[in-house]
Amino acid sequence: MQEEWIRYYFACDFLWCVLALATEEVLNPETNVRFRQGWMIFHTKLADWALQERFDLFNHKKIPMKHQQELLSLADTASEVLMSRWLEKLHVAARNFCIQFPSLSEPKWLYYCYCRFLKQVLVQFEHILQGLDMSSPYYGLYKESAAIVKDLSGSLEREQPAHEPELSIEDTALIKLKVDMDIFATQLSADWGEAVILAAHDAKQ
């Protein structure tokens, strides 16, 4: 049971980290504002929930202040490293896609790479938390966020470079592009999932 709440804690914490990557650097003003405003509503709700859930969990578990501080310190240290690593990989992917398809600017590719990454992280987040015992209090807490996760995931699905009029490529190339972006996002989201498991393991030591 102890392992379960720690894993839940880091799943919420690292989900917030990915959501926090949506800075001005990533949310390129060149992209479709109407679409972006749509998914950002759900993004903000989920970010608020994930951040608050970390601290509500301490109250729920009645964690001593000393242990709270130790866990927060561990999470903050890991978060800084992970966010830097994920952002760098997003930039590398955007650069590579821009080389292949230069009709879209690199900032636009960064935006679309982030959207695919976030969508896959939501899949990983649900996968981790659906592994909880249904009688667990954390399963109930997760269900509170499930509708927001579903809405955000659905909105992100519309964020595709194929909708950009300047990206004029053949259907076969478009299919390959989608596959390549999904592979990238799946691999990077797997790194997110492994980070959750590793952090929970380290916290128990």
DSSP string, 10-58: HHHHHHHHHHHT-STTTS-TTS-HHHHHHHHHHHHHHHHHHHHHHHHHH
Distances from the Cα of 87 to the Cα of 46, 104, 139, 178, angstroms: 20, 19, 30, 20
Helix, strand or coil, per DSSP, at residue 62: coil
The token pair at 125 is: 């987040």
Would you state the pLDDT for residue 30?
66
Long-range contacts of 87-93 (CB under 8 A, 24+ apart): 87/21, 87/26, 89/188, 90/21, 90/26, 90/114, 90/117, 90/188, 93/184
- Are 45 and 148 in contact, with CB atoms under 8 Å apart? yes
Taking alpha carbons only, the member of 4, 43, 28 closest to residue 145 is 43
Consecutive 10-residue averages of pLDDT for the chain (205 residues): 75 95 82 66 92 76 76 88 97 96 91 96 88 60 80 90 80 86 96 94 77
Would you state the pLDDT for residue 191?
97
Would you state the pLDDT for residue 1?
41
Total-model pTM: 0.89
- The residue extents of the domains of the chain are 2-204
- End-to-end alpha-carbon separation of the chain, Å? 15
- Beta-carbon neighbour count of residue 145 at 10 Å? 20
Would you state the pLDDT for residue 44?
92
Distances from the Cα of 97 to the Cα of 28, 156, 172, angstroms: 16, 19, 16
Q: How far apart are CA 142 and CA 53, in angstroms?
A: 10
- Beta-carbon neighbour count of residue 148 at 10 Å? 20
